[in-house]
Amino acid sequence: MQFNIVADENMPNVEPWFSPYAQSIRRVAGRTLTANALKDADVLLVRSITQVNKNLLSGTPVKFVGSATIGTDHIDQSFLKHQSIPFYHAPGCNAQSVVDWLLSVLCRLRLDHELNWSQKVVGVVGIGHVGSKVANRFKQFGTKVLVCDPVKNANGELPEHIDLESLLVQSDIVCVHAPHTRSGDYLTHQMLNADRLSLMPKNSWLINAGRGPVIEESALLEARVKNGLNIVLDVWPNEPSVSVPLLDAVHLASPHVAGYSLEGKFKGTEMLARAFAKEFGLTAIKSVPLPNGVTVDARLFEKSDVEQWASEIVLALYDPARDTAVMRFSAGNNQLDARTFDALRKEYPTRREIASTTIAHAPEVLKKRLKMFGFTHFK
């Protein structure tokens, strides 16, 4: 059985995973994909920037949709179900990548703002694949962690849950990993509005690597001025456009790439390929191996303070200050436009996860600290 496959141009390894079953594989720009491009397509593989709905799929022969993402807010699953089109996504594929991104952010804040983050109270909003890993990683450092996920709590899965207002009041650092929803009992659209942001302690930190529209932009800028709120954003309220006032207001910025590790991308494509093979009863697909990770010599980053030393090593793998500088340099007078935003994501440098890295010549006291970050290979 052979299939005509249309895939987002930014998905890695589509060819090695899918070519044994492909009559053709055509790459497209996910943001501007139209129904006309799918007139001969059997399989559609997308990322979060493509809205998959009736407008896109009506009149096309598409019989399988896969999204190499954790979230599904860009997919009209009701329509797909009504049309009997199988849908699969990749929950958890890049969760570790987001955790590593967050750790790099915190290391940069430690060095630039003397933020002793592991000794603060951290609130995590959204305890799904990403949020649960974030909360567990903080606990490795002995950090006090508060969690909020009303959906899980309602299902009896999160007895330690506290309401959002209480979490905001008590937290020095709030990490947002909630999905974007516009309906239901627990809608998240602009849930962080002026009233709620005003509850946060003066000079506290808000870090969002979930979905941009869960925060109201005007309220965020107001809280920055009135309450000294410190902001770090990977996702943006009006993404893919980013206003210059908001870009100027944040301490660190990145173009929705927290989950963009090589490992996360590989895993997302693999999960879709295996689901595709199972759906159509195809023979097992051979694995596509990851490239070897890098080795970092700890002596090159030596500092007398072990926490600073560890922070320098983490930042050697990925430094969010680079993304911040690139975004600001790329912005026009009024905004970073959608085309530029997408280009930054498309041309994003390869980033490896912490666990893939080998650390050489680290003394025991440094190894102990690095293991808290997730490093596992030493020599």
* 281: Cβ contacts below 8 Å, ≥ 6 apart: none
Answer yes or no: is 69 a known binding residue: yes
Answer yes or no: is 198 a known binding residue: no
d(CA 261, CA 100) in angstroms, rounded, equals 9
Asked if 133 contacts 157 with a C-beta cutoff of 8 angstroms, the reply is: no
Of 128, 146, 136, the closest CA to residue 372 belongs to 136
d(CA 92, CA 70) in angstroms, rounded, equals 6
Asked if 84 contacts 105 with a C-beta cutoff of 8 angstroms, the reply is: no
- How many CA within 13 A on the CB side of residue 291? 11
Answer yes or no: is 305 a known binding residue: no
Answer yes or no: is 48 a known binding residue: yes
211 counts as catalytic: yes
User: Which of 89, 211, 345, 369 is an active site residue?
Assistant: 211
User: Which of 129, 256, 345, 369 is an active site residue?
Assistant: 256
Answer yes or no: is 234 a known binding residue: yes
Of 225, 227, 176, the closest CA to residue 201 belongs to 227
For residue 255, what is the DSSP state?
Answer: S
Q: What Rg value do the Cα atoms of the chain yield, rounded? A: 21
239 counts as catalytic: yes
**Structure tokens given for 53:** 């709905």
User: Which of 47, 89, 216, 239 is an active site residue?
Assistant: 239
Binding site feature residues for substrate = 48, 69, 260
Binding site feature residues for NAD(+) = 149, 234, 259
Active site residue ranges: 211, 239, 256
Binding site feature residues = 48, 69, 149, 234, 259-260
